[in-house]
Structure 1
């Protein structure tokens, strides 16, 4: 039995006339009659009682009509759901992000534009270190990553788009000596316990970004899981937090921010996604974010 057999039968049952049903379906009357007869053979008995003027339903036909209507409605609903998913109208988008993507406004702006256009798509957000975001996109537990560009050199299998550049600052307790400095350089950090959001091999990545040799740095590096944890430890006097400059928008009672002046201390906010993405909602999100501005795609596998 095919869906078209049910559609033909329902049309005849509702019109009670083969000619009107054939016109409604845009098929010939002989084609319609043949398809209904095929359905009756498959059922094993008559569904319609034909007269010269009308068509009446048999008892089996009445039972089949109710079930056929339900089956056709469910099939139409299934097709509609599939189309909406392909078009990105329903479903979900799983996003991993670093705090800097929020503070720079890149992620909130993309979320706002997408939600306005696709309000029925669920947006699932998780703050993660860069390495965990990359792994999540690779293994399919995340769809898109919004990351700082620490430790993202080996991503040849993903599409990497640079969204915005930013600089670095330090966050310290108000009573820390560096809180009184006008400017801070990498040399000023040689004897300081540094606090930074963890990336894979994040301590070496940070020191390389600051152009500090690990052998020259005489204190330790404290790796933590998120932006607020960095500031909490700095406020507790546990060390000097190295943070993206937009973090200065977070005002805490015991924290002072100072700009960090050193060679190559900037960083980029980047997005990462799979090049062979098939999910409709994710593809729609990528189209929306790409249309919002002029991101630079620096790598596409």
Structure 2
């Protein structure tokens, strides 16, 4: 018994006439009659009482009509559910992020676009330290990661990496720090300063540049796991931090930013996902995130 047989049967039962049912189904009447006859033979008895003007259901036909409608409704629900899942309207996207993903606006813009396009999908957002994001992706705890590109071979071949932003670095320091008297500073100006760095910075590009510039290891005063901690320590006067320029747009008490004059210093943000991803919602999220945004998307709300 196939679903099309049940659709043909329901159409004849509801129309009470083979000709009208055939028109409704967009098939010729002889073909419809043959399909109903084959269904009756398969089930072992007549489903209709046929007259010259109309057809009526037998007792067996009435019993089948109830079950056929249920089966067709369930089949349609299954089809709709699978279609929604493949389209990204069902399921969830679990996103891990580091601080600059928020401060730069990249994460919020991607979340906004996805929610507008797929409002019934679930979004789970959690801050994950950069050094833990790759492991969390590979372990299946998150689906997408927004991570600083610290270099040092952090990325697995099982993952896709897309650079989504790059900003110059600023020196962040307490408002009463002597270097705040200058509009621009060079790396030589902070060579003797205790530095506050991210915990993930053991082998990143920034420290390599500082080592080359200073001719020695930088003085690391503190390591912090996230951007807010780095800025809080700098604002408290515990050292100077090199942070993405996107942070300057966020008003924070006690902190001052100064441009650092060096062409090789920048902060890069990458979006990481699994290469073998099959979840519809995650694939839809990544597809939207990789599409150039409509500049008027925010104004439309």
Q: TM-score, normalised by structure 2?
A: 0.80
The residue that corresponds to 1:167 in the other structure is 168
Are positions 1:143 and 2:112 aligned together?
A: no
CA displacement at 1:43 relative to structure 2 = 4.2
Structure 1 unaligned regions, length at least 5: 294-301
Alpha-carbon deviations, 1:193-234, whole Å to 9, x = none? 4333332xx23324224336796334444132x222222333
Q: 1:192 to 1:95 in 2, by over 3 A?
A: same
CA displacement at 1:122 relative to structure 2 = 2.9
Checking the alignment, whether the CA contact within 8 Å between 1:204 and 1:214 is kept in structure 2 is: no
Q: Separation in 1 of the partners of 2:230 and 2:220?
A: 17
- SS at the partner of 2:273? strand
Q: 1:152 to 1:2 in 2, by over 3 A?
A: farther
Q: Separation in 1 of the partners of 2:125 and 2:199?
A: 18
Q: Separation in 2 of the partners of 1:233 and 1:125?
A: 25
Checking the alignment, whether the CA contact within 8 Å between 2:197 and 2:220 is kept in structure 1 is: no
The residue that corresponds to 1:296 in the other structure is none
- Which sits farther off after the overlay, 187-196 or 72-81? 187-196
The residue that corresponds to 1:230 in the other structure is 230
- Which sits farther off after the overlay, 160-169 or 86-95? 86-95
The residue that corresponds to 2:299 in the other structure is none
Query: Which aligned pairs between 1:1-301 and structure 2 lie closer than 5 A?
Result: 1-151=1-151, 153-155=153-155, 156-190=157-191, 192-199=193-200, 202-205=201-204, 206-211=206-211, 216-224=217-225, 226-262=226-262, 264-292=264-292
- SS at the partner of 2:172? strand
Checking the alignment, whether the CA contact within 8 Å between 1:91 and 1:281 is kept in structure 2 is: yes
Checking the alignment, whether the CA contact within 8 Å between 2:174 and 2:236 is kept in structure 1 is: yes
CA displacement at 1:127 relative to structure 2 = 2.3
Q: 1:191 to 1:219 in 2, by over 3 A?
A: farther
Checking the alignment, whether the CA contact within 8 Å between 1:207 and 1:214 is kept in structure 2 is: no
Q: Separation in 2 of the partners of 1:86 and 1:40?
A: 37
Q: 1:216 to 1:196 in 2, by over 3 A?
A: closer
How many pairs does the alignment contain?
290
Checking the alignment, whether the CA contact within 8 Å between 1:17 and 1:55 is kept in structure 2 is: yes
The residue that corresponds to 1:298 in the other structure is none
Q: TM-score, normalised by structure 1?
A: 0.80
Alpha-carbon deviations, 1:101-124, whole Å to 9, x = none? 222222333333333333333333
CA displacement at 1:11 relative to structure 2 = 0.9
CA displacement at 1:49 relative to structure 2 = 2.5
Q: 1:119 to 1:3 in 2, by over 3 A?
A: same
Q: Separation in 2 of the partners of 1:29 and 1:114?
A: 48
Q: 1:203 to 1:154 in 2, by over 3 A?
A: closer
Q: Separation in 2 of the partners of 1:152 and 1:142?
A: 22
